[in-house]
Structure 1
Amino acid sequence: MSPLLRRTKKKPAERVVTLVSKPGCHLCDDARAVVAAVCAETGASWEEKDITVDEELHRAYWEQIPVVLVDGEQHTFWRVDADRLRKELGT
């Protein structure tokens, strides 16, 4: 791979984790707890988006929620593994 095409590895504090969820979803509640804990530990920021109010997210992820995105790319769905998320964030 050309040096110009290599991605610069971001530090955890520069990463953004997005939890795509819906109200009343017990798996979403579990995922939220893992995402919040790992982000607090690593310094990554996180946000939550409600699939019921975003048509694009609904179309893309309805059958997979909760979905975790890291920097806009799908990382996992249904169950969030804390160790795998830490590794993705570079810690």
Structure 2
Amino acid sequence: MVGPGSPDGDVHVTLLTRAGCAMCERARAELTPLCAESVVVLDVVDVDAVEDGELRAEFGDRLPVVLLQGEEHAYWEVDVPRLRADIARLRNR
């Protein structure tokens, strides 16, 4: 993941999910418009589909997980007000 001050200058949100997870789908539905309005890169990663089992081992028992700039921001639910504030803070650095 790319951090603040990265060469591309983009803010990145990653949603870690699992197929068939209703909470993951709800988180995606919340993040999609938020990331679009904030002009944030949204990546969705199925922890069971990646070859490296590290993500599944670290996060698989508490999905969905939201990462901001590669750092854990929330799990189980999206904290929309906090995420908006943290995205704004990153942009103002």
TM-score between both structures, scaled by the size of structure 2: 0.80
Runs of 4+ displaced beyond 4 Å: none
Task: Give the % identical residues.
Answer: 34
Aligned partner (choices 13, 18, 25) of residue 22 of structure 1 = 18
Look up the equivalent residue of 2:81 and give its one-letter code: D
Query: How big is the alpha-carbon RMSD for the aligned residues of Structure 1 and Structure 2?
Result: 2.0
Structure 2 portions without partners, runs of 5+: none
Report how far residue 56 of structure 1 moved: 1.1
User: In the alignment, is the contact (CA less than 8 A) between 1:31 and 1:66 conserved in 2?
Assistant: yes
User: How many pairs were matched up?
Assistant: 83
Counterparts of 2:16 and 2:83 in 1: how far apart (Å)? 15
1:31-70 mapped onto 2 (5 Å cutoff)? 31-54=27-50, 55-70=53-68
Structure 1 portions without partners, runs of 5+: 1-7
